[in-house]
Amino acid sequence: MPSDLPPNDPAAAIEQLIQIMARLRDPQGGCPWDLEQTFTTIAPYTVEEAYEVADAIERGDLTDLRDELGDLLLQVVFHSRMAEEQGAFDFAQVAASISDKMLRRHPHVFGDHAYDDVEDQKAGWETIKAAERAAKKKGGVLDDVPAGLPALTRAVKLTKRAARVGFDWPSTREVLDKLREETAELEVEIEAGDHAKAREEMGDLLFVVANLARKLDVEPEDALRATNAKFARRFAFIEAELAKGGRTPDQSDLAEMDGLWNAAKAAEKAKA
């Protein structure tokens, strides 16, 4: 199979990738691992690759982003190939489907519709999506919110969808009140030592946090990723400072590490 492609030729590059996947899935001399995969076994890799794309963006590493986008594209090609083998659809139909959707959802660009402003455009987008859901004969308001989404992201989508039909708190004030209520209920179960109920209350608390993020127009997964990165960065500072004295965190104590944590915070503020 040729490896040298014409420069800047997306069609040729896509076609080569499709042919590579077809070869890998060929029962006559293909790859045993690729041949035994199914939609179900590949799905976790698809999710993982999407997260790795997000991670490259978070780090601002465009070279890594290019490679991770390639890995994610491979997932699309892989699923498309398996579907083609079953006579369901192929990659061309996948691409045509998203093209049709983009044309349909942008009547102000590809048609003669005009929106007054960005908010009007957002409302129009939701109207078009609602019509698409109706055409698919989805029964309830929440029926097509994917169950496989990360829990925080799904919570945002569920509350956003419910809000469209008026099931929503008027402002963030009521959400904050609910947050305090759920925190108090969690404390009660912790004090009672009831792990099952504490787990349930923890879920309720996280659901309210996701709802608050939606009200503030903050993507909770992005916010938490940023905080995770901040925690890792500051803990690395603690490890580096302890290493200067030939020690590791397990040879320190909470008071010392907390002091180093504050030093890490101060150093970050000084750089800002």
pLDDT digits (tens, 9 = 90+) for 226-253: 899 899 999 999 999 999 999 999 999 9
Do residue 153 and residue 196 come from a single domain?
yes
Domain that includes residue 233, residue range: 222-271
The reply to whether 164 and 205 lie within a common domain is yes
Residue 2 has pLDDT above 70, yes or no: no
Last residue of a domain, one of 178, 203, 218: 218
Condensed to tens digits (0 to 9), the pLDDT of residues 197-229 reads: 999 999 999 999 999 999 999 999 889 988 998
Q: Is residue 168 part of a domain?
A: yes
Give me the number of domains the chain comprises: 4
Mean pLDDT (the chain) is 91
Q: Is residue 166 part of a domain?
A: yes
State CA 118 to chain mean position distance: 24
For 51, 55, 175, 245, the CA distances from 221, given in Å and listed in that order, are 10, 12, 19, 37
- Which band of pLDDT confidence, cut at 50, 70 and 90, is reported for residue 21? very high
pTM beyond 0.75: the answer is no
Q: Examine the pLDDT at 64 and tell me if it is beyond 60.
A: yes
Banded model confidence at residue 145, pLDDT cuts 50, 70, 90: confident
Confidence (pLDDT) at 55: 87
Long-range contact list for 220-225, CB < 8 A, 24+ apart?
220/152, 220/153, 220/155, 220/156, 221/150, 221/152, 221/153, 224/152, 225/54, 225/55, 225/58
Looking at residue 27, its pLDDT comes to: 95
101 lies in some domain: no
Q: What is the mean pLDDT of residues 161-169?
A: 91
∠ CA(5), CA(11), CA(12), 5° rounding?
A: 25
1 belongs to a structural domain: no
Is the pLDDT confidence value at 262 over 90? yes
Residue 5 has pLDDT above 80, yes or no: no
Check which CATH number belongs to the domain holding 87 and give it: 1.10.287.1080
Q: Within a 13 Å sphere around the CA of 180, how many CA atoms are in the beta-carbon half?
A: 5
pLDDT at position 7: 64
User: Are 166 and 193 found together in one domain?
Assistant: yes
Q: For residues 17 and 56, state if they share a domain.
A: yes
**What Rg do the C-alpha atoms of the chain give, in angstroms?**
25
120 and 149 share one domain: no
Per the domain annotation, does 2 fall within a domain?
A: no
Please give the single-letter amino acid code of residue 114.
A
- Residue 5 within a domain: no
Q: Is pLDDT at 6 greater than 70 in this prediction?
A: no
Looking at residues 90-101, what average pLDDT do you find?
95
> Same structural domain for residues 78 and 31?
yes
91 and 132 housed in the same domain = no
Give residue 165's pLDDT band: very low, low, confident or very high (50, 70, 90): confident
Please indicate, yes or no, whether residues 131 and 172 belong to a single structural domain of this protein.
Answer: no
Domain-embedded: residue 3: no
Q: Do 110 and 173 sit in the same domain of this protein?
A: no
| Mean pLDDT along residues 260-266 | 95
Using CA atoms, how far apart are residues 211 and 160, in angstroms rounded to an integer?
A: 8
Rounded mean pLDDT, 70-82: 97
pLDDT of 149 = 84
Based on the domain organization, do 211 and 226 belong to the same domain? no
Is residue 235 located within the same domain as residue 263?
A: yes
The answer on 246 and 210 residing in a single domain is no
